[in-house]
């Protein structure tokens, strides 16, 4: 599965209830949702979000997931390419934190409700 890095200026796209999605917005949202539609990736996000610092080293994510370093790195890469995680290299270690604005934009696009 290949996910392109989204470079649009907005966190995601137009809320579904605001107007029909453009083809570009639909492609972008689908790419992000594909990245999120994996149990290991969701667990990785939850581990990172639950840290007191709001970030985690890739080296600390193999044990809690029960996955190999290569598998964890692959999943972290997919989440980073989708714009859900931000990656920072510190020496030989990669550190990850949620892009909360991006996640909020995805939530807003999918979960927006009209005021009734």
pLDDT per position as a tens digit, 67-77: 999 999 999 99
Minimum mean pLDDT among 26-30, 70-74, 87-91: which range? 26-30
pLDDT at residue 25, as a whole number = 83
- Residue 88 phi/psi, 5° resolution? -135, 125
CATH class of 23-111: mainly alpha
Nearest to 77 by CA among 91, 58, 63: 58
Residue 55 pLDDT exceeds 90: yes
What are the boundaries of each domain within the chain?
23-111
Which strand (E) or helix (H) includes residue 95? strand 93-98
pTM: 0.78
pLDDT at residue 106, as a whole number = 85
H-only helix segments in the chain? 23-36, 39-50, 62-65, 69-81, 100-111
Long-range contacts of 60-65 (CB under 8 A, 24+ apart): 65/40
């Amino acid at each position: 599965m290949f996910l392109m890095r989204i470079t649009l200026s907005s966190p995601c796209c137009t809320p579904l209830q605001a107007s029909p999605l453009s083809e570009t917005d639909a492609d972008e949202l689908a790419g992000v949702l594909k990245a999120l539609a994996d149990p290991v990736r969701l667990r990785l996000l939850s581990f990172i979000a639950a840290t007191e610092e709001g970030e985690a080293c890739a080296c600390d994510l193999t044990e809690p997931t029960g996955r190999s370093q290569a598998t964890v790195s692959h999943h972290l890469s997919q989440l980073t390419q989708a714009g859900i995680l931000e990656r920072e290299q510190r020496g030989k270690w990669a550190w990850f934190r949620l892009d909360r604005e991006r996640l909020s934009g995805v939530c807003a696009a999918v979960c927006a409700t009209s005021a009734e």
